[in-house]
Structure 1
Amino acid sequence: MSVGRTGFVVTDIERADAATIDALGVHGVATVHEAMGRRGLVGAALRPLQDGARIAGSAVTVLNWPGDNLMIHAAVEQCRAGDILVVTTTSPSLDGSFGELFATALQQRGVLGLVTTGGVRDVVDLRAMGFHVWSAAVNAQGTVKATAGSVNVPITVGDTVVCAGDIIVADDDGVVCVPRAEASAVLLASDARVAKEAGSRAAYQAGDLSLDRNNLRPLLADLGVTYVTAQDFEAEHGRG
């Protein structure tokens, strides 16, 4: 599941500038994902614990062993305001490795939320305190603190590799990771996509059809799609 090694806490990660992070957060997951060429999604297995939240921040990555949350404790010290904690395990585990006490400590440091391939618990408290979570499970099963993992090494989260300092954007549509080196280019592409969609939205509000605006009628014809009346279709093909 992970591409990182165990036994390290990397302390001096680089982060993108706050203005770029904030602007990507305004665009949201779907726009950023499309602007990146449909890359970066962590996958549909991670779902939001809350409704209506949209956050963007720098990734602090954590690699735990299954059933063990020792390295989350180590990661708290490496977090600062505007970060998002991103957690996975060396092999799949849905144990509840994160709860209200971790959220309290992270929130005090200005951390925006958690993305985890594992489970979380204390969900009523997490929602009440406004600490936003995207997780693979809700699970009261506890964990131990016994085995060395790593903090701020590259990890694989679902379908993508997340490196410390990459930009995480998360909302009701899921989670997308923007490599830090690509942040400015992805923001420009996202801005362009939003402008294009604004034009399309205005056209649809005026009654235009997406078939025509996107020039899709020739494609339908090339694929052999024909327009027939209901009477002609029934006469040739019957009712079912």
Structure 2
Amino acid sequence: MSSVIVTDIVRADQTTIDALAVHGVATVHEAMGRVGLVGPSVHPVQQGARIAGSAVTVLCWPGDNLMIHAAVEQCQAGDILVVSTTSPSLDGSFGELFATALTYRGVRGVVTTGGVRDVVDLRAMNFPAWAGAQNAQGTVKATAGSVNVPIVVGGAIIRPGDVVVADDDGVLCVPRGEADTALTASDARVEKEAAARAAYLNGDLSLDRNDLRGVLADLGVRYVTQQEYTDGDHRRRDLDHD
């Protein structure tokens, strides 16, 4: 496909995005039916950040950050820059100067399959980043790629304008057209978990609240005393010696 920069992406409603950020990755992931996770190949470089925003996507050549420079112009307040490469590369293609430019434009953070550097500065700026590596290796600016096209980030396909949720648990993609549904399901899950939390604080067991005793029985799990377990273990050893 030819290299392009798409300039007029459609974004989800900002109120919905902000509400998804409050819920966080784990809650939204479960509410969506356990889909959309980028996975453990991308790690937070700070602790305690929880954000969501519209994805501005960047497809770069390995060892080349030219298209990140081009992508900054396409970013607006509430966005998250999401970067991948045409083949695996952990070079440090993103650093403090990019973060400074993006902060001016109101961008909430960066997610990249590659490397970030100037990590001390990024943390001091409170500019959240999730990356495949922390790596001082520099890059060139010589090869065409694309901005605002679908990209693969770990286990997720992220399209421009999709909602990206990121925190200490990882990174999640919510397709733009499913953002409202995901929020409704996440609200319901939070209510359910609040009821469960109150029950556990009162001494209830999750086995009973989630009707799991029958599952254990169906799987053949038995309750035995220590003596019964020991006697049974002895009998098994005796049979092994026969």
The TM-score with structure 1 as length reference comes to: 0.97
> Equivalent residue for 1:18?
14
Q: CA deviation at 1:111?
A: 0.4
Q: Distance in 2 between matches of 1:192 and 1:33?
A: 13
Q: CA deviation at 1:45?
A: 1.2
* Counterpart among 68, 73, 76 of residue 77 in structure 1: 73
Q: Distance in 1 between matches of 2:153 and 2:164?
A: 12
> Equivalent residue for 1:162?
158
> Equivalent residue for 1:39?
35
Indicate yes or no: 2:142 matched with 1:146: yes
Q: Distance in 2 between matches of 1:164 and 1:69?
A: 18
Relative distance call for 1:6 and 1:137 in structure 2 (3 A) is: farther
Cα shift readout 1:65-114 (whole Å, capped 9, x = no counterpart): 00000000000000001100000000000000000000000011100000
Cα shift readout 1:183-228 (whole Å, capped 9, x = no counterpart): 0111000001001101100110100000000000011000000000
Q: Distance in 2 between matches of 1:224 and 1:43?
A: 33
> Equivalent residue for 2:126?
130
Q: CA deviation at 1:235?
A: 1.2
Structure 2 gaps of 5+ residues are 238-242
Q: Distance in 2 between matches of 1:120 and 1:159?
A: 20
> Equivalent residue for 1:227?
223
Divergent runs of 4+, >6 A: none
> Equivalent residue for 1:237?
233
Indicate yes or no: 2:85 matched with 1:86: no
Q: Distance in 2 between matches of 1:98 and 1:186?
A: 31
Identical columns (%): 74
Indicate yes or no: 2:174 matched with 1:178: yes
The TM-score with structure 2 as length reference comes to: 0.96
Amino acid corresponding to residue 133 of structure 1 in structure 2: A
Cα shift readout 1:124-181 (whole Å, capped 9, x = no counterpart): 0000011100001000110000110000000010001000000000000000000000
CA RMSD of aligned residues (A): 1.1
Amino acid corresponding to residue 204 of structure 2 in structure 1: D
Structure 1 gaps of 5+ residues are none
Q: Distance in 1 between matches of 2:146 and 2:233?
A: 63
Map 1:86-125 to 2 at 5 A.
Answer: 86-125=82-121
Q: Distance in 2 between matches of 1:193 and 1:216?
A: 19
Q: CA deviation at 1:236?
A: 1.1
Q: Distance in 2 between matches of 1:104 and 1:23?
A: 26
Q: Distance in 2 between matches of 1:25 and 1:143?
A: 32
The higher radius of gyration belongs to 2
Amino acid corresponding to residue 209 of structure 2 in structure 1: R
> What secondary structure sits across from 2:160 in the alignment?
coil
* Counterpart among 198, 201, 205 of residue 205 in structure 1: 201
* Counterpart among 24, 41, 46 of residue 28 in structure 1: 24
